[in-house]
Amino acid sequence: MELLFLGTNAGVPTLQRNVTSVALRLFEERRSFWLFDCGEATQHQILRSSLKLSKLEKIFITHLHGDHLFGLPGLLASRNNQGGTSPLTVYGPRGIKEFLDTTMRLSQSRVDYVLEVVEHDGGIIFEDKGFIVESQLLEHRIDSYGYRVTEKDRIGSLNLPLLESHGIRPGPMYGKLKSGESIELENGTIIRPEDVLGQPKKGRIITILGDTRPCPAVVTLAKGADMLVHEATFLHEMVETAYEYYHSTATQAANAAQDAQAKRLVLTHFSSRYKDLEQLGQLLDEAKEIFPNTMLAEEFHILPIERIQ
């Protein structure tokens, strides 16, 4: 499980950075990746990365401002032309379906794969045996949502030497033990799952927020997260501007991470006024004064999401 940032700028692209999009690479867990937001030219950024549109499984849109959305129709059409045949689901606020229906119809874009568009008002929007995705409304000029992705706990590894000592070879009995069933050997010995399974592997939590002012939903979504991706549009010296435009400062992002007891904070969605690493470093320094385990999102940098106990 890894994050790959495809765009880290706010509002408009610059020569240094594209507008917002981040991929959650789930190649080990699902042989696919998920996309959070899809600003203009996201498909170009994907071409410059190791990602393949044919492996894209889900897209989560935080809100309907153009810097988070305008790349979506083109990306969906290109996926059709690049071997994408598996179903794809787009989740987003109310209005996302009308936007896609209209742009795809008027541009006569052809999509041969199954495309499902799910509008939501928050809550649990997806769950299967491996993951839960929850969403809550944030505080922005239009409806903007944050997403909390929770990987479900996985069973521990089998103690292979112990199983071999009982004469148990790989096969159906392994499957029964992993599914929680006890097994009986020919000599009458009962082997229980808890006898041969290690400690469960704790699932990881990733919180990816849309644009927002500080609000209670930020802390709720980020509670105990292994990684929190939070906008830091401005330095705190511009806190009044941030409030006026419904954004957050680096200080406010750090406060949220601290209040939520998150384990790592990644800053993104930088104002185009911060053009170079030295200026971005001021945002980082400001946040690290409050929350030391903070880093800046860098485009095309792969960020592993580690199991931090």
C-alpha to C-alpha distance for 297 and 19, rounded to whole angstroms: 12
How large is the average pLDDT for residues 137-147? 98
- Is 63 labelled as part of a ligand binding site? yes
The more confidently predicted of residues 30 and 194 is 30
CB 118 within 8 A of CB 90: yes
Please report the pLDDT score of residue 115 as a whole number: 97
Counting residues of the chain whose pLDDT is more than 90, the rounded percentage is 79
C-alpha to C-alpha distance for 189 and 187, rounded to whole angstroms: 6
Please report the pLDDT score of residue 175 as a whole number: 74
- Is 140 labelled as part of a ligand binding site? yes
Active site residues: 67
Residue partners of 297: CB distance under 8 A and separation at least 6: 5, 8, 22, 229, 266, 267, 268, 303
Q: What is the pLDDT of residues 238-250, one digit of tens each?
A: 999 999 999 999 9
Q: Residue 141 — very low, low, confident or very high, per pLDDT cuts 50/70/90?
A: very high
pLDDT at 291 over 70: yes
Neighbour-count burial of 122, counting CB atoms closer than 10 A to its CB (0-12 exposed, 13-18 middle, 19+ buried): middle
- Is 236 labelled as part of a ligand binding site? no
Q: Residue 166 — very low, low, confident or very high, per pLDDT cuts 50/70/90?
A: confident
pLDDT at 199 over 90: no
- Is 120 labelled as part of a ligand binding site? no
Please report the pLDDT score of residue 85 as a whole number: 93
pLDDT at 309 over 70: no
C-alpha to C-alpha distance for 148 and 206, rounded to whole angstroms: 6
Q: Which domains are assigned to the chain?
A: 2-154+201-304 (3.60.15.10), 160-196 (no CATH)
Counting residues of the chain whose pLDDT is more than 70, the rounded percentage is 99
pLDDT at 198 over 80: no
How large is the average pLDDT for residues 43-47? 97
Q: Following DSSP, what letter does each residue of 93-161 receive, concatenated? A: STTHHHHHHHHHHHTT----S-EEEEE--SEEEEE-SSEEEEEEE--SSS--EEEEEEEPPBPPPB-HH
Please report the pLDDT score of residue 101 as a whole number: 97
C-alpha to C-alpha distance for 290 and 104, rounded to whole angstroms: 45
For residue 293, which amino acid is it? Answer: N
Q: What is the pLDDT of residues 200-230, one digit of tens each?
A: 788 999 999 999 999 999 999 999 999 999 9
Full-model pTM: 0.89
Residue partners of 256: CB distance under 8 A and separation at least 6: 214, 218, 219, 222, 228, 230, 248
pLDDT at 83 over 90: no
- Is 67 labelled as part of a ligand binding site? yes
Q: Residue 308 — very low, low, confident or very high, per pLDDT cuts 50/70/90?
A: low
- Is 211 labelled as part of a ligand binding site? yes
